[in-house]
Each structure stands twice: as structure tokens, then as C-alpha cells.
Structure 1
Amino acid sequence: MEQTSLNIHQDIIDKCLEGDRMAQYELYKLYSKAMFNVSFRIVHNENDAEDVLQEAFVSAFKNLAGYSGVSTFGAWLKRIVINKSLNYIKKKHIEITPVEVLPDVKEEEPIFNEDIEFDINQIKKAVDLLPDGYRVVFSLYLLEGYDHGEIADILGITESTSKSQFNRSKKKLKEILEKEAYYER
């Protein structure tokens, strides 16, 4: 038997299922900012993230009857947003280049030099400077919590390519941040 998840907004979802436009707007207000951030981390452009967000909400409302309650509504919606974002970047032909995993790359290697401190704005700026393929894998793994197997399935790449892209993104992020710290001295 499937176990359903406690959904704190079930009353609003029920009204949406009845076609209540005000309830749809309420649900949009509750989730739009967080879902915009998810999309923006993947598509890397505010206007594109807004377009993806709108598509995701239209799709969610159209398919709301298919929401089973097995996960929270936010998790269900987040998956739609991620899928729409990834479809968008595939249309834009952003390449995730398959590469072999380098044997000397360690997954548990720390990202940052412990002698240098960075604030969140510096890190966000550095993530924005990552090449698209690196940024997508980095965001899905570190920020969205997907494992490399899931990322491989989502992006249509091998698990080793996902791991390699993530390791390369960490290396590139470290280079960007250390270069910035060097110039700020």
C-alpha cells in the first residue's frame, strides 16, 4: 500500500482540482519563488527561468489529478520544474560533454581552501560563472540533492560522466573563487 505524505496545503490543492482560479494563484504564490530559484540554477537566465516556471505551473495544474500525495506537493512540483528546466536547456543545445572519470580525482576532496573564507554572494557569483554543463550537474547534485545515478538518468549521460562533471565543476569553482580572493587582497 502506498503511504501518502502529509501535505499542509491539501485544502488549496483540493480547491485547485475543482478549478478554483484563486486557489491556483494561492498555490502559485506559495511555491513560485522557490521554484524560480530551482529553475534559475539550471537555466541560468532570469527571463528563461520565468518562462520555465510558467510552463511548469501550467503543466502542474493540468496534471494535478495525477498528484498522488506520495511525496509533498513541493517535491512533486520541484520535479516538474527540474524536468521543464532540463528540457529547456536541451532545446538550447547546452552540452553536457561525456568524459571518462579521471582515476586520480577524489569525490570527497574539499571544494574550498580552508585558509580562505568566502561569503555566500561570492560563491553564488562563482557558480554563475561555471560553464553550463558543470553548473547543471553541480546544481542537481549539491543544491537539489540528486545522486549521480539520478542525474545520469535525468540528463541522459552515464553515472561516471555525472561524477566527472561534478568533480570538474568543483575544481573550476575553486579556481574561480581563489582567483577572486587573490585579486581582492
Structure 2
Amino acid sequence: MELTATTIRDELVERCKRGDSPAYQQLYQRYSKAMYNTSLRIVNNSADAEDVLQEAFLDAFRSLHDFHYRSTFGAWLKKIVINKSINTLRKRRAHFVEINEHNEDAVYALAQEETVNEEEMQYQVTEVKRAIQKLPDGYRTVLSLYLLEGYDHEEIAGILSISHNTVRTQYVRAKQKLLSIIKQGGLS
């Protein structure tokens, strides 16, 4: 039995495909805030996030003929935003520590090194966001893509063009660093 997904056509997207100028503005208004926030969580700089947002919408509008409802328009646009955000980080030379097979055990040891009772770390969302902003680019990117954007480690590895082990290591280290920042009260 073959499963098929039925995707509902978005009338606003269809109007844009037909060249309806007001529809472009409405589509931008519908998605711009969420896409800006997605980019900001990755690039950690409002000017860069604004640039990413504008470039992503320009690319999306230019490529609307390539959008065939294999996903929602929002998911398609989000992928463009994330890729552009990653490219912005690459321009800033975000460094990811590569892990090879010989030190793979170190990844697991690292995860076991320091256990923190995360239930004791109940903070408001805005405080945690401020702590995330203090993470280095590589850590913040992996943590944001995994926790906030919902990508799994394999997907993140593909997006960032790094190994699965590197993603796992970056995630573990990012989480530890984030918890350390929170424990030290470095949220102000």
C-alpha cells in the first residue's frame, strides 16, 4: 500500500505565482517575523538576520515556480532561511571541531563527564535565549537547529556539511556550555 500526502495549495502562494503584487507583500507579512527569528537564533546578529531575511525572500519569490507543494510554503522558506543563515556563519568562519573514528569514545565520555540536574534549571525563556546568544557560533548553530528548529543530528550534519559525530559533539558541548553560563548567572 502506497501512502501519498495531499498538500493543500496556498491561495496566497498561487496569487504570487500569477504575479499579483499585493500577494507578495501579504506573504512577506505572514512569514517575515518567524523567519527573522529563525535566522537570528542562528546568526546571533540582528543586521545579519535582516540581510538573511531579505535575501531569502528574494530567492523564494524568484523561485516560486520551483515550489511544487512537496511541503508547506513556510517549511520551504524556512529551509532557505536556514541555509542562508549557515552561509552567513561560514562567511564569519564558524569553526566546527571534526571528530574522527579514533576519538569517537571521547564523544561518549564527554557526555558522561558532568551531569547537571536540568530540572533545577528552570528559567524563563528570555533568560535562556540570552544565554544561547553567548554561545560560540558553532555551538549556537547546532543547538538552535536541534532544539529550536527540530532537525535531527543527521539532517544537521547534511546542512552544515560536517560529520554526524561532529554534530553530536557540538551539541553535547553546546548544552554543557549553556548550562555552565546559566549556572554562573551569566544571563545579564
Does TM-score exceed 0.5, indicating one fold? Answer: yes
Extract unaligned runs of 5+ from structure 2. Answer: none
Q: Which residue of 1 aligns with 2:28?
A: 28
Counterpart AA for 2:176: K
Q: Which residue of 2 aligns with 1:87?
A: 87
Residues 53-72 of structure 1 aligned to structure 2 (within 5 Å): 53-72=53-72
CA shift in 2, pair 1:116/1:153, >3 Å: closer
Residue 175 (str. 1) matches residue 176 (str. 2) = no
CA contact (8 A) 1:4 1:69 kept: no
> Separation in 2 of the partners of 1:126 and 1:37?
16
Q: Which residue of 1 aligns with 2:139?
A: 134
Of 161, 166, 184, the match for 1:161: 166
Percent of matched pairs sharing the same residue: 45
Extract unaligned runs of 5+ from structure 1. Answer: none
> Separation in 2 of the partners of 1:117 and 1:144?
21
Show structure 1 runs of 4+ deviating over 6 A: none
Q: CA deviation at 1:111?
A: 6.6
Q: CA deviation at 1:87?
A: 1.2
CA contact (8 A) 1:41 1:136 kept: yes
Of 122, 135, 146, the match for 1:117: 122
> Separation in 1 of the partners of 2:115 and 2:78?
28
CA contact (8 A) 2:153 2:167 kept: yes
Q: CA deviation at 1:104?
A: 1.7
TM-score (norm 1): 0.89
Of 146, 150, 158, the match for 1:145: 150
CA shift in 2, pair 1:80/1:149, >3 Å: same
Count of aligned pairs between the two proteins = 180
CA contact (8 A) 2:39 2:53 kept: yes
Mean CA deviation greater in 27-36 or 93-102:
93-102
Query: What RMSD over aligned residues (CA atoms) do the two structures have, in Å?
Result: 2.2
Counterpart AA for 1:16: C
> Separation in 2 of the partners of 1:53 and 1:136?
17
> Can you list the C-alpha shifts for 1:112-161, whole angstroms capped at 9, x where unaligned?
53234311121011000111100000001111111111111111110000
Counterpart AA for 1:17: K
TM-score (norm 2): 0.88
Counterpart AA for 2:85: S
CA contact (8 A) 2:39 2:52 kept: yes
> Separation in 2 of the partners of 1:116 and 1:138?
17
Counterpart AA for 1:171: Q
CA contact (8 A) 2:89 2:137 kept: no
